[in-house]
């Protein structure tokens, strides 16, 4: 298991807890509740527990199993072919990133929580799988939109002449962007909003890690094939003798 997995699971659980508590508090205020704090606290605790179960199952169980399964090997080969044929993955690959991991983990999480509450395993697994799949799809679509926006801005910047970029000296202003309440809350637990450049660096790092994983899988497969060929040759020589 990756040493960074516990930290990632803790951050995911904290983010889920904050999101659940904030949504419940806003919903209670809109409905005219005079005491939204107890409801928000209860929802935050339950959301944190569900988030810890979900991210723990996905990062420690589901994702490693998928990566070592034949399906993970096929996906790695497809990713290797797409990487060698093009400089970057397709939009479809980005939109479908981690969809299987999230859907399976959501189903398991819903089954565990529903089994604990009322014993209906299938209903909880089905609802949680659908909800997690939609959330992951929305997250992936947001990433695609951000990549397109950054690429468009970079192309516009490169297409403009250098003289048009700075026709006269402009006085620099110290105008730091204002942080929203949600950004401040996320920064307290260690989350920070990435800039466009940092987001591109993160994507490149994920691509390099995927390529390293693909190379390791191909090396393991080549070693296993070589071992099978050598064992077959030794058995043949023994039969001849």
Q: Sign (positive/negative) of CA torsion 187, 50, 52, 46?
A: positive
Of all residues in the chain, the percent with pLDDT exceeding 70 is 73
In a domain, 186, yes or no: no
- In whole angstroms, give the CA distance from residue 190 to residue 173: 28
Q: Is residue 103 part of a domain?
A: no
Q: What confidence tier does 234 reach under pLDDT thresholds 50, 70, 90?
A: low
**Rounded-to-integer distance, Cα 220 and Cα 21, Å:** 46
> What is the Cα–Cα distance from 133 to 105, expressed in whole angstroms?
10
pLDDT of residue 196: 73
Indicate the pTM of the whole model.
Answer: 0.61
For residue 212, what are the domain limits?
193-225
pLDDT classification of 224: cutoffs 50, 70, 90: confident
- The token duo for 176 is 């730091």
- Lowest-pLDDT choice from 9-13, 42-46, 105-109, 120-124: 120-124
Highest mean pLDDT pick, 4-18, 191-205, 211-225: 4-18
pLDDT confidence band for 165 (50 / 70 / 90): very low
Encoded tokens for 161: 């002449």
> How deeply is 14 buried, as exposed, middle or buried, from its count of CB atoms within 10 A (0-12, 13-18, 19+)?
buried
Distances from the Cα of 18 to the Cα of 77, 144, 179, angstroms: 38, 25, 17
Residue 211: inside a domain, yes or no? yes
Q: In this predicted structure, which of 13-27, 34-48, 77-91 has the lowest mean pLDDT?
A: 77-91
102 in any annotated domain: no
Domain count, the chain: 1
115 is a domain residue = no
Q: Does residue 42 belong to any structural domain of this protein?
A: no
Is the pLDDT confidence value at 70 over 80? no
Q: How many CB atoms lie within 10 A of CB 199?
A: 15
The token pair that represents 101 in the structure block: 């991991």
In a domain, 44, yes or no: no
Residue 217 lies in a domain: yes
């Amino acid at each position: 298991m990756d040493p960074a997995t516990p930290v990632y699971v803790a951050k995911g659980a904290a983010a889920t807890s904050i999101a659940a508590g904030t949504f419940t508090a806003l919903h209670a205020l809109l409905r005219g509740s005079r005491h939204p704090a107890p409801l928000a606290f209860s929802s935050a605790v339950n959301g944190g527990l569900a988030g810890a179960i979900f991210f723990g199952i996905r990062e420690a169980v589901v994702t490693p199993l998928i990566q070592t399964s034949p399906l993970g090997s096929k996906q790695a080969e497809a990713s290797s072919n797409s990487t060698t044929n093009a400089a970057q993955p397709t939009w479809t690959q980005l939109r479908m990133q981690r969809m299987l991991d999230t859907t399976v983990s959501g189903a398991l999480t819903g089954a565990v929580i529903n089994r604990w509450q009322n014993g209906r395993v299938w209903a909880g697994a089905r609802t949680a799988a659908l909800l997690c799949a939609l959330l992951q799809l929305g997250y992936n679509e947001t990433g695609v939109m951000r990549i397109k926006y950054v690429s468009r801005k970079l192309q516009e910047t490169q297409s403009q002449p250098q003289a048009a970029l700075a026709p006269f000296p402009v006085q620099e202003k110290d105008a730091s962007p204002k942080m929203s309440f949600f950004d401040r809350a996320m920064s307290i637990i260690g989350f920070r909003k990435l800039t466009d450049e940092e987001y591109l660096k993160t994507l490149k790092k994920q691509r390099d890690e995927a390529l390293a994983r693909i190379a390791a899988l191909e090396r393991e497969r080549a070693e296993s094939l070589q071992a099978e060929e050598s064992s077959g040759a030794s058995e043949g020589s023994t039969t001849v003798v």
